[in-house]
Structures are given as C-alpha cells and as structure tokens.
Amino acid sequence: MPRIPDRQRIAQDIRDKIASGEYGPGAKLPSLREMSAQYGVSAEPVRSALLILQSEGLVEGHQGKGVFVAEKKA
C-alpha cells in the first residue's frame, strides 16, 4: 500500500476537523510550529497542506495573524 504524503495526510486531518465542527467557521488554526510538532513533521508539509486547503477555499491565511477556517458560503 503506498504511503500517503505528509501534506495530504495533514490536509485530510484538518478537513475532517472542519467537517466535524472541531474547527468551526472563523476558528484560528494552530500555528505552523504547533502543527509541525503535532504531526511530527517539519514546517514545509504543514505549509503545503495549508496551501491545498486554501486552494479548496476551506481556510484563509491572514498575514501576521494566522490561518482561519473560511466562513461557509451560502
């Protein structure tokens, strides 16, 4: 069975947390450093995962403030 790349594994975990309501609309995600420690990876796969989620419209990055769950579109 092929190993799932870290960025995809992290992106899916965050997707699941958003879907379950653990991270609600407008919620601030943990910092890059916190997520790196949580997933046991360097910052790069976390950054890549966040870019994937941003391209899907699930999260929004705000320079100097952090990454937040996007508000649901009606």
What is the tens place of the pLDDT at every residue in 11-23? Answer: 999 999 999 999 9
- Give the CA distances from residue 63 to residues 9, 27, 56, 67, in Å, rounded to whole numbers and listed in that order: 25, 16, 19, 8
74 occurs within a structural domain: no
Phi and psi (nearest 5°) for 7?
-60, -40
CATH number of the domain enclosing 23: 1.10.10.10
For 14-71, what is each residue's pLDDT tens digit? Answer: 999 999 999 999 999 999 999 999 999 999 999 999 999 999 999 999 999 999 999 9
1 occurs within a structural domain: no
How confident is residue 4, by pLDDT bands cut at 50, 70 and 90? very high
Q: Judge contact between 10 and 46, C-beta under 8 A.
A: yes
Would you state the pLDDT for residue 39?
97
52 occurs within a structural domain: yes
Our count of domains for the chain comes to 1
For the entire predicted model, the pTM comes to 0.90
